[in-house]
Amino acid sequence: MKKLILSIGLSVVAGSLAFAQKKQIEKHFDEKEAISEFTYLASDELMGRDPARPEMKLAYTFIADQLKKAGAKTLEGADGYYQNIPFRLSSPPKSGTVKIGDTEFSQGKNLLVLDGKSFSGSYELVDVGFGLEEDFAGKDLKGKIAVTNVGAPNKLNPNQLFSEGRAKATRAKDAGAVALIERFNIPSVPWQMVSGFLNRPQMSVDQGAASDLPYLWVEDVKNQLVGDNLKTANVAVEGKVNTPVEGKNVVAWIEGTDPELKKEYILLSAHYDHVGVGQPDAAGDSIFNGARDNAVGTVAVLNAAKYFAENPPKRSILVALWTAEEKGLLGSGYFANNPLVPLNQIIYNLNIDNAGYNDTSIITVIGLGRTSADFLIEEAVAEFGITAKADPSPEQGLYDRSDNVNFARKGIPAPSFTLGFTAFDDEINKYYHKAADEVESFDLAYAQLYWKSYILSAEKVANWAERPTWIAGDKYEEIGKELYGTK
């Protein structure tokens, strides 16, 4: 009986604390100001927040001003509230052909020149498998072209293809190669789809001399470019233009209150870029405003920063608004590889990315069920009368298509807190990367529940006595143990 009474008493205390936290959030949340921020970030003035456009400066300046106004602190090693990133925009060449044996590859048809300078001539080809470090070992590549398969074993999703390719280009450059050609030999991914997406200017992080190395993909689904069919290549790539672009993650932090726990960070993040200007719709609108993707998430993180600056939790809060997510998770990837705080002090990342919503009674958590802190998110959203649901469309690979994965790969537990959807259906596709994705079509009452429940979710994790971990058996469990020294 005593245990029952104690259990009931603890439940009452926990319920009272949760109610008090909710009331505190509602007291400090300025709904009018949040909607104003939302409206501005998704306005035509910002021209769709394309990282390559000059209007991007309006976006990152606005976000930094809000963090400064809130009283969030700058990070050591940052440029004020910015982490500067050296991007380059690589445009397709005016013309490009590669002839290997009896097969001729043409730019935009069965050849994609993705990066590097113009070049021409006849070169010997050297097959280096997947282009891993061990594949390059002992190979003479001076003055030759390195040829690899795209990706790597068990690393064949679109984002991994690019990240692996960049690493191979660096290895090829260091080995003295004059170019890198990757055989696109993944039958499950249509070349036509890849070509349609990539035969246009591509943004990447400038790797210095390695970025000047010509980097090409050729269609080889039938795996014909091997053995005697892979001896020499006659190349003619002309009119390649590469332009530097200024990139900025917007970052800040809020110190925690607990003498020990404040040494740990909860990373609250969202990408603030979108896809810019595209083909006009039936109404003639060509600006892709990105209200759902991802101005709503940016506003959530900004208002979390405002709240925690006035009501700091036990752990410290790291705030990050990423650039160039739509270009291949570039901003978050740059931070993950060039962190401004030690990664082993970032114990959790509650990220935000969105395509849209079709159910305002739920929050969809991409990665729900994979970390020990999931129940805290479920409790938090329930306080606002909504329910946390797991990803209903795992076939879309959403977990691996957003910024959280750059931190998961380092070992950091990292779910994404998204708008509620029950399927990737017509209601989602009506707005996803479309000119129709505007504030005017958004349920603002739902937006406010979303913003507030995100803050409470973050607060619960930041005050939790335990450190979040990956669930046993998760594919990131082992790397997480390595990161935090718990093996």
* Cα gap 382→364, rounded to integer Å: 13
Whole-number pLDDT of residue 266: 98
CATH 3.40.630.10 residue window(s) in the chain:
24-87+246-484
Whole-number pLDDT of residue 162: 76
Whole-number pLDDT of residue 3: 60
Q: Which of 407, 356, 401, 384 is nearest to 459 (CA)?
A: 384
Length of the chain measured in residues: 487
Sign of the C-alpha dihedral computed for residues 39, 44, 48 and 51 taken in this order: negative
Pick the CATH number of 94-239 from 3.50.30.30, 3.60.15.10, 2.40.37.10, 3.40.50.920: 3.50.30.30
Whole-number pLDDT of residue 4: 60
Whole-number pLDDT of residue 7: 54
* pLDDT less than 70: residues of the chain: 1-16, 159
Whole-number pLDDT of residue 9: 53
Whole-number pLDDT of residue 432: 96
> Packing angle between helix 444-463 and helix 2-28, nearest 10 degrees?
130
Q: Are 414 and 470 in contact (CB under 8 A)?
A: no
Q: How far is CA 475 from the centre of its chain?
A: 19
* Cα gap 400→329, rounded to integer Å: 10
Q: How far is CA 127 from the centre of its chain?
A: 32
Which architecture characterizes domain 24-87+246-484 according to CATH? 3-Layer(aba) Sandwich (3.40)
Whole-number pLDDT of residue 16: 66
186-190-192-194 Cα dihedral, nearest 10 degrees: -60
Whole-number pLDDT of residue 188: 81
Q: Supply the pTM of this predicted model.
A: 0.91
H/E stretch holding 344 reads none
CATH 3.50.30.30 residue window(s) in the chain:
94-239
